[in-house]
Structure 1
Amino acid sequence: MKLPLPSDFFAPVRLSPSEVHDLQQVEARLLTGYLTQYDAYCTRQDEDSHEDVWKLVGQRFGVKIFSQKPKKSRRRHRREQEQLPALRLVGSVDGTLEDILYGSMWRSGRERAARAHFTRDGVADGAVLCTVEKPSPVEPFRSLSVKWMLKRAPHGGLVVKDRDFCYLAASGVVHSPKTGRKLGFRTIAQWPPGGFPSRLI
């Protein structure tokens, strides 16, 4: 099948008011949790910053990437909805907050493919299945939508095959409740809700 897929390939996803409310609650819960972690890290009150909890897994362009190590208690008592390992990115990059947010936004498979050309993240196609909240003149980086993505397998798919998935994507600008600092966020949650990877910019 030729990629990117045509814009009318997927049937429109229609959400009920209760489903929209649930998605907004998922975003709010995740964002509150990550803002709390961010403030704790910035004020050095985060006990999880210890090397016993965070492992350096990569470094690129001056940004260090840490993965949260699984806790023994988490292994013994698995939650109903098993959480994915958290990632923490520490460092700085050239440009402004708005540059990064603008570069992370896409509204069609062609835009996502164009972005993949520069980021080389292995994404072959994508689509917006449903828009809950969209950018406005007042909040140009605000977005909440359900998206689909196709990611190419490394090394030609000899061992791992291409995979596609649906997810809840949210972005916007907020201010830290503790410091008042302006922050950009891009949150990605499995849809239907399950594991919740996320990142703060």
Structure 2
Amino acid sequence: MPKTATISKILPALLIPDADQELLRDLATTLVKHNFEQYNTLYVTKDGHPDTRLWVPTRKIEGIRIYRERLNATGETSPSIPSLLLLGSVVGKLDDIMYGVTAPTDEALKIKSSCIRDGVLDSKVLEELEVPDVNEPFHSVTIQWRLYEDRDYVTLDTTGIMETPWGERVGYSVSHSVGFPQFPSFTDLNIVRGNIRQMSATLGLAEERENLT
């Protein structure tokens, strides 16, 4: 029985058919478009706070404020996991942030986790569907596996930079759970397969603004 920190060394190849790879690329595009549309319609006050009828403040870390999506008006629980919204600013350029976010290879994914200490114990890029190039150095579409303590995730991940209708550059990082019948579970190791649903797909947006000083 493998130790949890070495599971990535024994994971099988997914061998995804070309037609399914194309469907996954289309799904990545759809997820980005959906969340980007939400971003463009997000109402924020002049002092940088979202609509309190929709978002509940939960935490503040230096210049970043974290909000949780409210339950719907009837008080019923949303059918999907509540979204999280991060607002604030950090010093630096968008390209620098995206350089740290983009992890299209197995080695890059492990280095990223080591640097940001995101709690990932083991990980592997299972499939590279689209890789960065000189024209789009931050665009990637991959299938990733990540292990946290007693829970693991198999996700479709995509990163890149888009432009708003008013000309602002926005970086994105989207993660959405996917399943493959050929990919094993690890219940014998007491590891539960986690799920990131479409409506709560993790979306990090970094908007570049001019230096006003």
TM-score when normalising by structure 1: 0.78
CA contact (8 A) 1:146 1:168 kept: yes
Runs of 4+ in 1 over 6 A off after TM superposition: none
Is residue 164 from structure 1 mapped to residue 152 from structure 2 by the alignment? yes
Following TM superposition, by how much is the alpha carbon of 1:101 offset from its aligned partner in structure 2, in angstroms?
1.2
Q: 2:83 aligns with which of 50, 61, 86?
A: 86
Instruction: Write the letter of the residue equivalent to 1:103.
Output: G
1:183 maps to 170
Give ranges in structure 2 of 5+ residues lacking alignment: 180-194, 207-213
Paired residue for 1:155?
none
Q: Does 2:202 match 1:198?
A: yes
Q: What secondary structure sits across from 2:96 in the alignment?
A: helix
1:125 aligns with 2:122: yes
Question: Do the aligned partners of 1:56 and 1:64 also contact (CA within 8 Å) in 2?
Answer: yes
Distance across 1 between alignment mates of 2:108 and 2:96: 16
Amino acid at match of 2:161: V
> Percent identity, aligned pairs only?
24
1:50 corresponding residue in structure 2: 51
Report the counterpart of residue 67 of structure 2 in structure 1: 66
Query: Scaled by the length of structure 2, what TM-score is found?
Result: 0.74
CA separation in 1, counterparts of 2:62 and 2:89? 8
> Residue 152 of structure 2 aligns to a residue in which SS?
strand
Q: Taking structure 1 as reference, are residues 133 and 103 closer, same or farther at Cα in structure 2, changes over 3 Å only?
A: same
Residue-pair matches, total? 183
Please give the per-residue CA displacement for 1:74-93, whole angstroms capped at 9, x wherever unaligned: 837x7xxx422112111111
Deviation at 1:73, TM superposition (A): 5.4
Partners in 2 of 1:140 and 1:186 — Cα distance? 14
